[in-house]
Amino acid sequence: MENSRRNFIQFLAGAVVSGSVFTLFKVSPARALARPPAALVEDDFLRFCTRCHQCIDVCPADALFPASILDGIINIGTPVLDGPKCIMCMECVRICPTPAIKKIPKQEVVLGKAVINEDTCLAWQKKKRCKDCYRACKFKAIELKKRRYPEIIADKCNGCGLCVQRCPAVAGTIDIKYEAAERYPAGDAHFALCLEDRVAPYEFPPDDFGTWLKKRIEKIGKNHGLAIGTGED
């Protein structure tokens, strides 16, 4: 009887643990993970992405990182975008060796859509005649209602985030909804074309070679779960 009771308890405990494990490893329904600029629609993206991490390694702004097991087994190792860090340099688009990221010009990329919180906007709250976001937008995606109140023109907004950077109000007054990023079907394309080589300078000065190499070694180690030292204290 005692053995039967013990076995029954072990069975229940095993069931609980198994349930927890299956819950942990349950495949997420693509959970709307933010992807690199110009990524294909999720099903096609997952089909073509080889988890090579080349896009992650090449990103100068450290805006891409690999998905973890908590994002679902199907997503492990795929690149996830940290939107606010992205400078839309297009290096990830250039380096991707598969059609997972569509090779389109920067002007056609839609990273997300900006949204203005009128409750904290200085102009909408009539605290200041602020036009900073309006002046910052290069795509004329912000108009001034009654020459004062900023409004986002969604069809023109590409989610570049310049308005967010220039906004002097409290954080979150302008937010980018990255789930609204434009994704592209794979179509019949099987080979990735190349974009033109970079001709414009980076948005910030590059590191000297020693600093660049140190950061790259640390970044690759971090992406692969390794603690790699660089020989410095």
Number of domain units in the chain = 2
Closest CA relative to residue 204, chosen from 59, 57, 66, 105: 59
Is the domain of 190 the same as that of 176?
no
Residue 2 falls inside a structural domain: no
Is the domain of 37 the same as that of 96?
yes
Is the domain of 193 the same as that of 124?
no
Place of tokens 């409750």: 119
Is the domain of 128 the same as that of 172?
yes
Residue 43 falls inside a structural domain: yes
Ordered mean pLDDT values, 10 residues apiece, the chain (233 residues): 49 42 46 88 93 94 92 92 92 93 90 96 94 95 95 95 94 94 75 49 56 72 64 52
Distances (CA, A) of 89 to 33, 62, 150: 20, 12, 27
Rounded Cα distance between 113 and 156, Å, is 9
Please name the amino acid found at residue 191. Answer: F
Global confidence as pTM: 0.68
Is the domain of 35 the same as that of 103?
yes
Residue 13 falls inside a structural domain: no
Is the domain of 141 the same as that of 48?
no
Burial 158-169 (b: 16+ CB within 10 A, else e): bbbbbbbebbeb
Is the domain of 192 the same as that of 222?
yes
Domain extent for 172: 112-180
Residue 124 falls inside a structural domain: yes
